[in-house]
């Protein structure tokens, strides 16, 4: 599984980085970092929760 953020949609609400800091972090510009990155199996459930809670549907998950 991989996760990415569409930075054009991101509001910078920090929800994803608070729910799943192992995968998501905020850039210096205040928006979540974008590039696709692998998600460790033990982080997959919480990563999906972060995806479900993104108000802009800016998180992109590929299985």
Q: How far is the CB of 61 from ligand SF4 (least distance, A)?
A: 12
By CB under 6 A, the residues from 4 to 43 that bind ligand SF4 are: 5, 10-16, 32
Q: Beta partners for 29?
A: none
Handedness of CA 28, 33, 37, 38 (dihedral sign): positive
Q: How far is the CB of 42 from ligand SF4 (least distance, A)?
A: 20
Instruction: Take residue 2 and report the two structure tokens written for it.
Output: 């991989």
Smaller CB distance to ligand SF4: residue 16 or 40?
A: 16
Terminal Cα-to-Cα distance of the chain (whole angstroms)? 4
Binding site for ligand SF4 (CB under 6 A): 5, 10-16, 32, 54-56, 58-59
């Amino acid at each position: 599984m991989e996760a990415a953020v569409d930075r054009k949609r991101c509001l910078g609400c920090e929800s994803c980085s608070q729910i799943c800091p192992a995968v998501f972090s905020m850039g210096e510009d205040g928006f979540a970092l974008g590039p696709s990155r692998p998600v460790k199996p033990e982080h997959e459930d919480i990563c999906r929760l972060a995806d479900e809670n993104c108000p802009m549907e800016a998180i992109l998950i590929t299985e």
